[in-house]
């Protein structure tokens, strides 16, 4: 079978099983098993794919179609900030919304070298992307999940950020350390009663510890804000990703903890998803 025939076959199966991104998923899966880029399929639709690769492709398509496994977990990688991050079921799959946060921070800190804390680092996508851009910066990345830290450390090596990040296994509740210029966090923020409404691929495969924000979704956000107040430098910045519809409540918590909002950033659907605020000690 040729590459084009296989992509069509895979895409049809995925479509029948209600996978919206059926074409791109089929291309990505074939690219992975054949070792050829997606772009090369566009230039040449007639690559011969050998039988063992076809078997692997069919397996992956079935896992995507019937079990709804996310493509990033099937391929063990996800592109973020134009880099390939290693991922597995121990870490949240990096999302485009989080790139908006990175973009705002890179713009704000261009030419500076903030000392950064990333709370709930997961795959390490935020801090690694920031340090990739802010070449003189250093940082600390914490997570309560040992397995997530293992992946984040691997990513920092693969993506060549040598010795500029210290990885610490800790909950933000027990973390007391240096004074930071910038604290960044994409904490778990889904209200517990809403976990059951998530897409099946998310609720079945992504780590619950990365999603569950307690009764109102704000448990970890509250902890992050409260602790940031103590470990940020004066005029230090707290950059938070929040869930859709959480802005008003988070804004109140920030005010109560003496933070002044500096920038609000909306996602592609115009919902406020990131708050950059500065600690005011007076």
Residues that bind ligand SAM (CB under 6 A): 92, 94, 98, 119-123, 125-126, 142-145, 148, 171-172, 186-188, 209-210, 220, 223
Cβ proximity to ligand SAM: between 25 and 143 the closer is 143
Q: Least distance from C-beta 232 to ligand SAM, angstroms?
A: 16
CB of 33 or CB of 141, closer to ligand SAM: 141
In the block, residue with structure tokens 């134009």:
82
The candidate with the shortest Cα–Cα distance to 121, out of 131, 111, 108, 109, is: 131
Based on its alpha-carbon atoms, the radius of gyration of the chain, rounded to whole angstroms, reads: 20
List the Cα angle 224/92/237 in 5-degree steps. Answer: 30
Least distance (Å) between residue 41 CB and ligand SAM: 29
CB-nearer residue toward ligand SAM: 29 or 148: 148
- CA distances 177 to 83, 117, 125, 140, 210, Å, are 30, 10, 22, 10, 23
Q: Which residue carries 């996800």 as its tokens?
A: 78
Helix axes 3-16, 51-66, angle to 10 degrees: 20
Find the shortest distance in angstroms from Cβ 120 to ligand SAM. Answer: 2
- CB proximity list for 163: less than 8 A, separation 6 or greater: none
CB of 187 to ligand SAM, least distance (A): 6
d(CA 241, CA 101): 7
**Closest CB to ligand SAM among 132 and 186?**
186
Q: Which is nearer to ligand SAM, 53 or 185 (CB)?
A: 185
CA angle 242, 238, 252 (to 5 degrees): 60
For β-strands 115-119 and 138-143, DSSP reports them as parallel
**Least distance (Å) between residue 148 CB and ligand SAM:** 4
The least distance separating ligand SAM from the CB of residue 56, rounded to whole angstroms, comes to: 28
Q: Which is nearer to ligand SAM, 125 or 218 (CB)?
A: 125
Identity of the residue, 65 or 142, whose beta carbon is nearer to ligand SAM in the bound complex: 142
Q: Supply 94's token pair.
A: 């990096």
- Minimum distance from CB of 152 to ligand SAM (Å)? 8
């Amino acid at each position: 079978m040729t590459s084009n025939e296989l992509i069509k076959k895979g895409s049809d199966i995925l479509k029948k099983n209600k996978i919206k991104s059926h074409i791109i998923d089929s291309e990505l899966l074939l690219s992975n098993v054949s070792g050829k880029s997606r772009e090369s399929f566009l230039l040449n639709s007639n690559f011969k794919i050998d039988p063992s690769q076809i078997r692997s492709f069919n397996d992956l398509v079935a896992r995507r179609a019937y079990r709804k496994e996310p493509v990033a977990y099937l391929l063990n990688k996800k592109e973020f900030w134009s880099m390939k991050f290693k991922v597995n079921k121990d870490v949240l799959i990096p999302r485009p919304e989080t790139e908006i946060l990175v973009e705002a921070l890179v713009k704000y800190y261009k030419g500076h070298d903030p000392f950064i804390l990333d709370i709930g680092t997961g795959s390490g996508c935020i801090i690694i992307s920031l340090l990739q851009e802010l070449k003189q910066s250093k940082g600390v990345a914490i997570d309560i999940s040992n397995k997530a830290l293992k992946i984040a450390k691997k990513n920092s090596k693969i993506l060549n950020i040598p010795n500029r990040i210290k990885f610490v296994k800790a909950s933000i509740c027990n973390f007391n350390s240096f004074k930071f210029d910038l604290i960044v966090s994409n904490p778990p923020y889904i209200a517990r009663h809403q976990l059951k409404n998530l897409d099946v691929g998310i609720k079945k495969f992504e780590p619950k510890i990365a999603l569950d924000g307690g009764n109102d979704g704000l448990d970890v956000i509250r902890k992050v804000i409260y602790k940031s107040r103590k470990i940020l430098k004066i005029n230090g910045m707290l950059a938070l990703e929040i869930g859709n519809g959480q802005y008003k409540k988070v804004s109140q918590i920030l005010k109560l903890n003496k933070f002044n909002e500096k920038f609000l950033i909306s996602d592609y659907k115009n919902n406020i998803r990131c708050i950059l605020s500065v600690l005011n000690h007076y």
